Structure 1
Amino acid sequence: MAVFTPVSDNDARELLTRYTLGDLVSLRGITAGIENTNYFLTTTQGEYVLTLFEVLTYEQLPFYIELMHHLAQRHIPVPQPQTLRDGTRLTLLHGKPCAIVTRLSGGYEPAPSAAHCALAGATLARAHLAARDFAIRQPNLRGLPWWQETIPKVLPFLSGEQAALIRQTLEEQTLFAASAAYRSLPSGPAHCDLFRDNVLFDGTFEMPRMGGFIDFYFAGCDTWLFDVAVSVNDWCIERHTGVFETSKLQAWLDAYAAVRSFTAEEKAAWPTLLQAAALRFWVSRLYDFYLPRPAQTLKPHDPTHFERILRERRKTPALALP
């Protein structure tokens, strides 16, 4: 959500003529994130987020836009893509695909409690079930094939020990992905990036209310367990060590399982999927750190954070799924 492509007020006014969202009041760039250009867009009719897509192609985007529309129609708290006058939900600005979605209320919680974790877990389970009948199929574009393609590009920046760890983990994940055990895991549309800064809460810290899930632009069809693993590797850890905080992890998993029970196959695969989730973000952060794209407000994340998490997941047995 860095600003790669500048958008002026006049650009926004022209864009709004394609919608029925009122007139421009204000436009403000969003500095967080590293993938797309995002602006807070306020009009005389409401508050929205304008996204220009810097990596995803126009042909890939219907999956993400229509998935959010599908979930919103089923009362999952997600941004609602706005429909243009021509009936579509995608257009172009400065030659880039773009969309306008509703801005959800609330803010993200940087230090979530067990109550926040439970709300996030239950809502993710609801989202998985609500997306079962979504018609468009698109793989997780940051899944195994991307790891296999990207790891050779970052190896020159790693120490011998780091290179050995990343190669060994990739080999194990490649073997697991080819197994019958992997094929048995429940799967479907998944967020694949549900970090704490992609969830908004209303209410108070002591009594939080779910505001909604945002930033679906890493979503794809994957195992639902991978989506859970990505989430808890961020929500339920001691930040400086990657060690799980058991009370938060238990709250997250129990709340998810109360909506969708984990299968026996998922329970067996859990340690492997936790490592897969850590590997995915170690690889992407290495790539963004050492091979960044230019942006006005780019703030790459520290890749060593997920290296620590991966080492911890390989060292310490995971809390069993409920």
Structure 2
Amino acid sequence: MSVFTKVSHTELQDFLKQYPVGELIGFQGIGEGVENTNYFVDTTDGRWVLTLFERLNYADLPFFLGLMDHIASRGLPGAMPARTHAGENLVSLNGKPAAMVRRLVGQSVLFPTLEQCKQVGRSLGELHVATASYPGRCENSRGVAWRENTGRGLLAHVDADTRALIEDELRAQAALDWNTLPQGVIHADLFRDNVLFVDDRLTGLIDFYYACNDSLLYDLAITLNDWCTEPEGAPNAARWNAMVSAYRSRRGITPAESDAWPLVLRAAALRFWLSRLWDWTFPREGDVVHMKDPNAYRRILEHHRTHAPMAL
């Protein structure tokens, strides 16, 4: 969530007239994340998050906004998109597709407790059960083909050790048949900054704009890699076990998933290493641009490549 498109006070005032949200009090750009422009917006009717979509187009967005409606209506702690006076949840601002959602209470955590890891695992399992009835479909824009193409696209721009690691991991990943794994709608980006807590109570799952149809196990791997690993890339056993146990209390793991687990963990690490490495190699311009260190995910990938994974 960075600021690539500036919005003035007057522009935002005019934009908000489309919504039954009262008068503008104030707004502030959010400098975290890397994909969209986001602002916190305060009005006389409450607190909101305004998103201008920098890469997604209008045709893609009904899937994400409909999914958020679907999740919130089933009691999960997701933000329901606001609707205009005309009943629309997707409009435009400064030439970009835009949407507003009610700002949820709580804060993200940097150093999660065991209870917070349990709640994330339980909520992820509940999310996978709830999304089974969602009729929308969206291919993973950062899936197998993207990982292959992005990795190949970086080879001419990185050092020899990095090039060898990318090439070897892409060869290893070619052995994984994703079609053997249970599929569904996944969050695909459930990092610590996309979950809100009040103390140890989970109050919000946010930022569904990477959601897609893919392997459910891959979603668990993405989440574990962020929440339950140490800075050197090794798993924190207590947090890892707490999250996995809580997840399994809501959704069981199949034998095919157990067999694929080592490569799925590596694929989840590879995806974020490559995306961060690409952004460092080919930086984007913006008023506030937050780029994350790719080496954190290189260390996770390298650990998974040289150690047997913790069991599911």
Cross-structure match for 1:213? 205
Matches within 5 A, 1:176-255: 176=176, 179=177, 182-203=178-199, 208-239=200-231, 241-255=232-246
Q: How many Å separate the matches in 1 of 2:61 and 2:145?
A: 19
User: What RMSD, in angstroms, separates the aligned Cα atoms of the two structures?
Assistant: 1.0
> What's the CA shift for 1:152?
2.3
TM-score for both structures, normalised by structure 2: 0.98
> Aligned to 2:99, what secondary structure does the other structure show?
strand
> What's the CA shift for 1:100?
0.1
Q: How many Å separate the matches in 1 of 2:198 and 2:215?
A: 29
Q: Which amino acid aligns with 2:182?
A: P
1:159-215 deviations in whole A, cap 9, x for unaligned?
Answer: 222111111211222331xx3xx3121111111011111111012xxxx00011111
> What's the CA shift for 1:42?
0.8
> What's the CA shift for 1:19?
1.1
Q: Which amino acid aligns with 2:46?
A: G
1:258-286 deviations in whole A, cap 9, x for unaligned?
Answer: 01111111111111100000000011001
Cross-structure match for 2:310? 319
Q: Which amino acid aligns with 1:186?
A: P
1:36-56 deviations in whole A, cap 9, x for unaligned?
Answer: 000001111111100000011
Instruction: Report the more deviating stretch, 281-290 or 166-175.
Output: 166-175
Q: How many Å separate the matches in 2 of 1:15 and 1:218?
A: 25
Cross-structure match for 1:47? 47
Cross-structure match for 1:273? 264
Where does the alignment leave 5 or more consecutive residues of structure 2 unmatched? none
> What's the CA shift for 1:299?
2.2
1:9-57 deviations in whole A, cap 9, x for unaligned?
Answer: 1111111111111111111110111110000011111111000000111
Cross-structure match for 1:106? 106
> What's the CA shift for 1:157?
2.7
Q: How many Å separate the matches in 1 of 2:152 and 2:181?
A: 28
Q: Which amino acid aligns with 2:183?
A: S
Cross-structure match for 1:62? 62
Q: How many Å separate the matches in 2 of 1:60 and 1:243?
A: 36
Q: How many Å separate the matches in 2 of 1:132 and 1:259?
A: 13
> What's the CA shift for 1:156?
2.3
Q: How many Å separate the matches in 2 of 1:57 and 1:171?
A: 32
TM-score for both structures, normalised by structure 1: 0.95
Note if 1:285 corresponds to 2:285.
no
Cross-structure match for 2:31? 31
Q: How many Å separate the matches in 2 of 1:253 and 1:23?
A: 45
1:206-232 deviations in whole A, cap 9, x for unaligned?
Answer: xx0001111111111110100000000
> What's the CA shift for 1:288?
0.8
Q: How many Å separate the matches in 2 of 1:284 and 1:90?
A: 27
Matches within 5 A, 1:68-83: 68-83=68-83
> What's the CA shift for 1:76?
0.8
How many residue pairs align between the two structures?
312
Cross-structure match for 2:158? 158
Q: How many Å separate the matches in 1 of 2:195 and 2:83?
A: 24
Q: Which amino acid aligns with 1:56?
A: L
Aligned identity (percent) is 42
1:235-256 deviations in whole A, cap 9, x for unaligned?
Answer: 00112x1100101000000000
Matches within 5 A, 1:4-19: 4-19=4-19
Matches within 5 A, 1:97-176: 97-176=97-176
Q: Which amino acid aligns with 2:62?
A: P
Q: How many Å separate the matches in 2 of 1:64 and 1:174?
A: 29
Where does the alignment leave 5 or more consecutive residues of structure 1 unmatched? none
Q: How many Å separate the matches in 2 of 1:263 and 1:212?
A: 28
